[in-house]
Structure 1
Amino acid sequence: MAKEVNCTMATAKLLGKRTHQVPGRLSVSELFFEVPKDHANPSYGTLRLFARSVERFEKPIDASKREVKQPPWFKDCEAIRKTLTADFPEEKKKWSIMGQSFGKVAERNKAYYNKYTEDIHRVKDIIRYIEKENITLPSGGRLSVLRLRQLGILFGFHGTMDTVHEMITRFTSDLNQFGYFTRPTLAAFSDLLPFDTMPLYALVHEPLYARNNAPNWSADRMMKQNPDFTNVSADSPNPVYFTGEMVFKDMFNDYDELTNLKETAEILATTDDWPELYDEAQLARNEVPVYSATYMEDMYVHFDFARDTASKINNCHNFITNVLYHDALAHKTDELMKQLFALRDDTID
């Protein structure tokens, strides 16, 4: 049975704020807040949170009369909202939210191998070598076939398909020239995957979606049901598919920083009393304007799921595109924000 958590939401403490102009006539503020680790038990201590806000950059004729406007936020952290809207008129305390929606690994593999057909046999040669060697990475941990395939996590970003090809080329060049993988190549490989430096990413990636049941290593279970991803034989005529943004149980054997967290990961994977994540009835009554982007070619969340989710949120205005990927907010900022601000400020009639 799911747990119900009732607590009074504390106000976040604003520790600092710096604002900079970025291309696209955008003004970006970087903020640090202090909030309780557990709002139900404030005595447990505090955490420091980092957040960014974005608004249109407008240079006033008279800087002394510049209006202080309510900023649009990408994530509605309730405690932060209370702090930042403390002096707002009541009608502006409900700020607008701009967010991203995320979906499709098999198609990205096909696109990769269509672009770099030579990598079909290169990847298999690399796998043959990994399977017969015990390879320790400079950062610690081991280079397994599964860890190699996790390069596919990059397929959902702008330009990073080429990054994967470059890595495969380096591995191939090492084998052809030296007969083994050199330290610089192995170090470059380690740097491409984030789990040693962001262990929480691996720990909570599946549990954070759980409600009323245990995630129970869902990526492992689902991959076994998909022939495209269970084929890892170097002797098969089919390409070996890379995985995407999945977290697998064996990662806690492969990554040095994760090996000490195996027991914690297992507890989180088997816990089944997670509370409800969302109040769908309240979302259907939502009054806060939401401006979101859904990417038809997004690898991390299926387009249909993203569109269905947006449809359940009242007052949600959705920008749908097939020319941007999941990282558009970071790497196509001006293009994306132009569209989101247009949803807020413009009209099509």
Structure 2
Amino acid sequence: MSVSYRQPGVVLTDHRFTVPLDHDAPDGETLDVYAREVVAGDKAGQDLPWLVYLQGGPGFGANRFIGKQAWLERALKEYRVLLLDQRGTGHSTPVNRQTLPLRGGPAAQADYLTRFRADSIVRDCELIRRELTGGAPWTVLGQSFGGFCAVHYLSTAPEGLSTAVITGGLPSLDAHADDAYRAAYPRVERKVAAHYARYPQDVERARRIADHLLAHDVVLPNGYRLTVEAFQSLGILLGGSDGSHRLHYLLEHAFVRTPQGSVLSDAFQEDVQALLSYAGHPLYALVHEASYGQDTRPTDWSAERVRAEFPQFDAAKTLTGDGPLLFTGESVHPWTFDCDPALRPLRETADLLAARTDWRPLYDPERLAANEVPVAAAVYHDDMYVDTGHSLTTARAVRGLRTWVTDEFEHDGVRAGGPRVLDRLLALARDEA
């Protein structure tokens, strides 16, 4: 039963949907998928078109907005919005170290997790759309990985879409995970250089922390083992609009003097574990590289293998000289599962996923070349998470897709830019800009 309630300026309604685990076996096992409907308070009784939001990730539930925050303010002027917790995330049937053993051993868990990629998410959307709209097509807003899902939607079920709007999420149609990471490491290096240019005092701070971690076995209060590689992965912050500033403020209070000498402060450790822990979104770590799988090539821990091609990211080598320590970005490694207590029981499952060679194609270039759905995409000029070159190549492959290439925003522009980003993209899709 749906339940409605209010926040300032909006009416919210909780929805739960039952979907097949495997859409090719609709009479088999099922999952719950949760979604939150949002409508402007003064339009609650009106017959409005629907916009479904596909969150970035993979593995994150939809944003928990309060009132008309961020892009929602613009959307609610004309849409009834559905904030979807994609399968396995948020308030949907959970996937984590506590629930996966219900499947059986690691092999059964890995098989189960193959059902949590963009193809299954889009088929969930189609079932939900028919239930909510009576069959009418809706608009999709895809952020980051949500954009990957939107391109899959255009490839497989364009009849379900009236418009597609994508922000920071145009994927390569044919790149292997290796290609994605070979493009990513140089981008990350540029972001780190820009951070140090802004905050030159952080060069010595980061080196000091890394040197301490190489010499000490540091375990955070939640049981996370803070290695130097894990510390470097805090560079994931640098892809957001305020990420450089957040990293700077984190580094400035790293050490405290004690009777035993300088140690990493409790405050620093508390902040770091909140940033690094996957306890709230373990599915991200499990299927992040699998979201690139499209052929018989295994992903085979791509980020880890490709990192070896960029020795400048080796902290131990850096500290033998006087150069700046390089942070890393959006990547998952085998050691991620060894460091994080929320992931340790799932290491073998993750290894089996990395070895799979039976991935289905996610995109249909021929169908995209014949696309008739109005599509607009924001492509951020030097996006740390999604390669700009790959995105522009895909933009040219989708008939009628209009791009807005901008360096005004980072990857989180749809949040940081408030209503402006969505307003601009809707205008482009409607040929009004």
Class of the TM-score when normalised by the shorter of the 2 chains: 0.7 to 0.9
CA distance in 2, matches of 1:134, 1:329: 40
Name whichever of 303-312 and 143-152 sits farther off. 303-312
Q: Does 1:44 align with 2:33?
A: no
1:70 to 49, 55, 65: 49
* Structure 2 counterpart of 1:4: none
Alpha-carbon distance change, 80 to 89 in structure 1, aligned in 2, over 3 angstroms: closer
Tell whether 2:328 aligns with 1:243: yes
Is the 2:413–2:421 contact (alpha carbons within 8 Å) kept by the matching residues of 1? yes
Segments of structure 2 that go 5 or more residues without pairing to the other structure are 55-121, 139-157, 170-183
Alignment correspondent of 2:129? 81
Q: Tell me: CA distance 1:346–1:50, structure 2 relative to 1, closer, same or farther (3 Å).
A: same
Report the structure number with the largest CA radius of gyration.
1
* Per-residue deviation, residues 93-139 of structure 1 (Å, max 9, x unmatched): 53212122246211100001111111112111111211121111111
Q: What are the superposed Cα offsets for residues 46-100 of structure 1, whole Å, 9 maximum, x if unpaired? A: 231436779xx7968xx97x4x232233445322332233253999953212122
> What is the CA–CA distance in structure 1 between the aligned matches of 2:37 and 2:385, rounded to whole Å?
23
Alignment of 1:117-136 (within 5 A): 117-136=200-219
Equivalent residues of 1:214, 1:272 under 8 A apart:
yes
Kindly report which structure 2 residues correspond to 1:1-349, keeping only aligned pairs within 5 A, or say none. 15=2, 32-42=16-26, 43-50=28-35, 66=46, 68-75=47-54, 77-86=125-134, 88=136, 94-102=161-169, 104-173=187-256, 179-212=262-295, 213-232=297-316, 233-345=318-430, 347-348=432-433
Distance 2:279 2:331 in 1: 15
Tell me whether 107-116 or 287-296 shows the greater mean CA deviation.
287-296
Q: Provide the secondary structure at the position in 2 that maps to 1:256.
A: coil
Equivalent pair of 2:205/2:251 in contact (CA under 8 Å)? yes
User: How far apart are the structure 2 equivalents of 1:321 and 1:89?
Assistant: 29
Deviations 1:132-151 (A, max 9, x none): 21111111121100110011
Q: Partners of 2:291 and 2:312 in 1: how far apart? A: 27
Separation in 1 of the partners of 2:375 and 2:6? 23
Counterpart of 1:332, as a letter, is: G
C-alpha contact 2:18 2:30 (8 A) present in aligned 1: no
Q: How many residues align?
A: 326
2:130–2:136 CA contact under 8 A, matched in 1: no
Using the TM superposition, name which of 170-179 and 201-210 deviates more. Answer: 170-179
8 Å CA contact 2:12–2:36 kept in 1: the answer is no
TM-score norm. by structure 1 comes to 0.83
Judge conservation of contact 2:207–2:319 (CA < 8 Å) in 1: yes
Letter paired with 2:306: M
Separation in 2, partners of 1:162, 1:321:
21
Deviates more, 1:231-240 or 1:241-250: 231-240
Residues 244, 93 of structure 1: CA spacing in aligned structure 2 closer, same or farther, 3 A cutoff? Answer: closer
1:32: Cα distance to partner? 4.7
Give the aligned partner of residue 3 of structure 1. Answer: none
Contact 2:233-2:327 within 8 A present in 1 as well: yes
Identical positions, percent: 29
Say if 1:153 and 1:276 are closer, same or farther in 2 by CA, change over 3 A. same
Q: 1:194 to 1:32 in 2, by over 3 A?
A: farther
Structure 1 residue matching 2:408: 3-state secondary structure: coil
Question: What is the CA–CA distance in structure 2 between the aligned matches of 1:29 and 1:340, rounded to whole Å?
Answer: 27
Q: Which amino acid is the alignment partner of residue 229 of structure 1?
A: F
Cα shift at 1:290: 1.8
TM-score of the two chains, using structure 2 as the length reference: 0.68
Q: Deviations over 1:199-235 (max 9, x none)?
A: 1111111011111110001111111111332354323
Residues 141 and 255, structure 1, Cα contact 8 Å, conserved in 2: yes
1:17: how far off? 6.8
| Residues in 2 aligned to 1:174 and 1:255: alpha-carbon distance in whole angstroms | 27
Q: Which secondary structure does the structure 2 equivalent of 1:148 belong to?
A: helix
Once the two structures are superposed, residues 294-320 of structure 1 have per-residue CA deviations (whole angstroms, 9 ceiling, x without a partner) of: 111311111111111122122322222
Change in 2 beyond 3 A, CA 1:39/1:16: farther
The root-mean-square deviation of aligned C-alpha atoms, in Å, is: 3.1
Q: Separation in 1 of the partners of 2:8 and 2:233?
A: 36
Partner AA of 2:23 in structure 1: H
Take 1:324 and 1:246, find their aligned partners in 2: how far apart are those partners? 22
Q: Distance in 1 between matches of 2:281 and 2:216?
A: 27
In structure 2, C-alpha distance between the alignment counterparts of 1:277 and 1:184, rounded to whole Å = 43
How many Å separate the matches in 1 of 2:34 and 2:228?
36
Q: What CA distance in whole angstroms lies between the structure 2 residues aligned with 1:27 and 1:295?
A: 33
SS in 1 for 2:334: coil
